[in-house]
Amino acid sequence: EDKVVQSPLSLVVHEGDTVTLNCSYEVTNFRSLLWYKQEKKAPTFLFMLTSSGIEKKSGRLSSILDKKELFSILNITATQTGDSAVYLCAAPTDSWGKLQFGAGTQVVVTP
Amino acid sequence: SQTIHQWPATLVQPVGSPLSLECTVEGTSNPNLYWYRQAAGRGLQLLFYSVGIGQISSEVPQNLSASRPQDRQFILSSKKLLLSDSGFYLCAWSSGVKQPQHFGDGTRLSIL
């Protein structure tokens, strides 16, 4: 059975801290891993990773994939209160693009 | 640019009543379309997906159904709602199976 596991489930940090979120996966035919940010409504797409060791970066957020150890990390540097959200990772489990999501990591950034 | 619309944003329905949630995508053609449900504090669970008009695949047995009457329209329905149908329902689209999915704002459904 395909599965995606995120850790930690939640964390609280102060503004300016760096946050590292983990996502491990077991997917029979691995194709890619995706990260989303969910505030109150729609998850918004952050990154899609397909190759090991190549960091993707967008502003203060970055992510990398390790296909040998079957995990990905999402880093947020110099956190701001606007980074408070649930961060979801997901992996397609078949050729139709069906996504298996992790339970998410809730990040709270305090001023 | 592409946009996805879902409505209503919130809905309160009695047990046993019917349901119809609608999702439309603009700015693209022949999108892959998906319905997810998110229970409180949990990840997203795929309910249905569609790769074309009239083509629906169901992932979880339940009293919900989906239809795709037009290329960019995806409808989630039920004839009789159960208490367990409460949750946050999200529609998503992608331009291809290897492309990321993009989500609508969701419908928060409460069953009384």
**Separation CA A58–CA A60 (nearest Å):** 6
What does the pLDDT read at residue A6?
96
pLDDT of residue B61: 67
Residue pLDDT, tens place only, B33-87: 999 999 876 789 999 999 999 899 888 767 899 999 999 999 999 999 999 999 9
Residue A91 pLDDT > 90:
yes
Residue B96 has a pLDDT of 87
Establish if B14 touches chain A: CB-CB under 8 angstroms: no
- pLDDT over 70 for what percent of chain A? 100
Average pLDDT value for chain B: 92
Mean pLDDT, chain A, integer: 94
Percent of chain B with pLDDT over 70: 98
**Contact present, A46 and A63 (Cβ < 8 Å):** yes
pLDDT at residue B92, as a whole number: 96
Q: Closest CB to A42: pick one of B51, B99, B105.
A: B105
Buried b (16+ CB within 10 A) or exposed e, A63-74: bbbeeeeebbbb
Q: What is the pLDDT of residue B81?
A: 95
Average pLDDT on B6-27 reads 96
Give the model's confidence band at B20: pLDDT under 50 very low, under 70 low, under 90 confident, else very high. very high
Q: How many helices (H) and strands (E) does chain A have?
A: 0, 11
Q: Is A99 on the interface with B (CB under 8 A)?
A: yes
Chain-centroid distance of CA A91 in Å reads 10
> A96 to chain B: which residues are within 8 Å by CB?
32, 49, 51, 57, 97
Q: Do A34 and B100 touch (CB under 8 A)?
A: yes
Q: Give mean pLDDT, residues B5-33.
A: 95
pLDDT digits (tens, 9 = 90+) for A13-54: 999 999 999 999 999 988 999 999 999 888 999 999 998 989
**Residue A68, CB-side half-sphere exposure with 13 Å CA sphere:** 2
Confidence at A4, pLDDT banded by 50, 70, 90:
very high
